[in-house]
Amino acid sequence: MNNRQFFIRMVFASMLGGIVALGGYQLVKEDQVRVIQAESQPVRFSNYELDSSAMIVPEGLNFVYAAKAVTPGVVHIRSTFEGTSRMGQGTNQFDEYFRQFFGDPQGGSQPQQRQSMGSGSGVIIGQDGYIATNNHVIENATEIEVLLNDNRTYKAEIVGTDPTTDLALLKIEASGLPFVKVGNSDQVQIGEWVLAVGNPFEFRSTVTAGIISAKGRNINILRNRNNLQIESFLQTDAAVNPGNSGGALVNLRGELVGINTAIATPTGTYAGYSFAVPSNLVDKVLADLKEFGVVQRALLGINIRDVNAQLAEDEDLNVLEGVYVINVNPNSGADDAGIENGDVIIAVQGEKVTKTSELQEKVALNRPGDKVKVTLIRNGKEKTVTATLKNTLGTTTTIASSNNMTIQGGTFADLSKDEKETLKIEGGAKLLNVEAGKWREAGIKAGFIVTAVDKRPILSVEDLSRALTRTNDGSGLLIEGMYEGGEKAYYGIGW
């Protein structure tokens, strides 16, 4: 066999082998296809049956409009705080101890003024220069500067503050300003888109987006000696960081629905949750500060707690949500209306309340003297009563910013900031004038500052009135305080 014949036979064998292999593959392939298609498998994409139109962003979901509308009305706030330190002294906690016993190694250096700065955000709520912010942004500030979005700067004056809601009202001398329209926070829905506008980390006019995660949230961040703090925050996942405090939380119509106040974080920066004072409460508090200089706080006069499954079982309640009345204060609005211990409040003014924070917010939207309908459950039966709300002094009258009040022949007033700094005390109630009555009978003279009643601290006229109204058993009281020169004095007074 020559080489040519050998080559032809090799080509023929290769072609025959390829034909045989291809035919066998086809037979095997047909069998596999028939096996796989024998039974339909119930497996599909997770969004297979979703209507594709539901995935289209609706026309009203437009962050650009709200951002443009709101940004000019949000300002940057710089607060200056003053403290004292001794020249050349370090931070050693034993320095004062050594100075007292071994003399001052610095030659008796005098305390030196030291300034620190803080910053936050604010919301212009009127074209005449009124600005809303958080109380903690400007508390104890000696100077407040407001920087507008157009780079103009103004010195701001404090119109009033309310630590119980962490709100403050400022005023700058300007007109024709862009402002943010106040919306209705009651209409905000969980899952609704919102924008947070402020100045975090000194970044001007920062806008972040998120949704409302919860309403009526109590995070126990505010503290008040008389337990009058109100925490009914809107919770959102819009990014809020240091410097955002006092800034705007707005809906997509550009309406203010909250003042950004706090964040839940293990690091000090945003970690997923932020909280805002709802705009309805903001509107009421700021209106009070503007008109009276202080908040007209309305109270039902009850001690309360949330209803839960354990409480419902222990107290044999027929409801699993609502606000349980632990105690009713004598002569309070609730007492006058016939509310009793053990009642479960489920609505105020026809609006459902499921927890204490919601009840506190609904009541706080009113002023002393207002009448509210309270729906409650008692012994398994529902009933509605009408309660006349009273102020912290137990009356229905409004309180002026000067907070002057006449009690048993003595006219008292709150201490000014300068007086507190001079006397180095947190507060007190100063006796301005003494007429016939218990104070004169006890030998107390004008100028005396009450700082405690039966060891109970007194920081204001409001505190004094509350302490005295709680004492109605005819027993005597120990009055502690000082005169304007710093001389301390103690008096026993029959009450």
Domains along the sequence of the chain with CATH: 185-292 (2.40.10.10), 302-388 (2.30.42.10), 405-494 (2.30.42.10)
- The annotation places the binding site at 136, 166, 243-245
Check pLDDT > 60 for residue 95: no
Closest CA to 479 of 492, 460, 469, 468: 492
Hey, is 18 helix, strand or coil?
helix
List pLDDT tens digits, range 200-232: 876 778 999 999 999 998 888 886 656 678 888
Whether the model clears a pTM of 0.95, i.e. scores above it, the answer is no
List pLDDT tens digits, range 388-434: 999 877 888 877 655 677 777 888 888 887 888 889 898 899 999 88
Active site residues: 136, 166, 245
The pLDDT value recorded for residue 261 is: 92
The pLDDT value recorded for residue 23 is: 54
Mean of all residue pLDDT scores within the chain: 81
Confidence of residue 182 (pLDDT cuts 50, 70, 90): very high
The pLDDT value recorded for residue 6 is: 55
List pLDDT tens digits, range 122-158: 999 999 999 999 999 998 888 999 999 999 999 999 9
List pLDDT tens digits, range 229-287: 888 899 999 998 888 899 999 999 999 999 999 888 777 777 788 999 999 999 999 99
Confidence of residue 18 (pLDDT cuts 50, 70, 90): low
Taking the mean position of all CA atoms in its chain, how far away is CA 363?
16
DSSP string, 24-83: HHHHHHHHHHHHHTTS------TTTTS-GGGGSPPTT--HHHHHHHHGGGEEEEEEEEEE
Confidence of residue 11 (pLDDT cuts 50, 70, 90): low
Q: Give the span between the Cα atoms of 368 and 296, in whole angstroms.
A: 7
Q: Which two tokens stand for residue 372?
A: 């509210």
Check pLDDT > 50 for residue 87: no
- The annotation places the binding site for substrate at 136, 166, 243-245
Q: Which of 4-8, 182-186, 480-484 has the lowest mean pLDDT?
A: 4-8
Tally Cβ neighbours within 10 Å of residue 355.
19
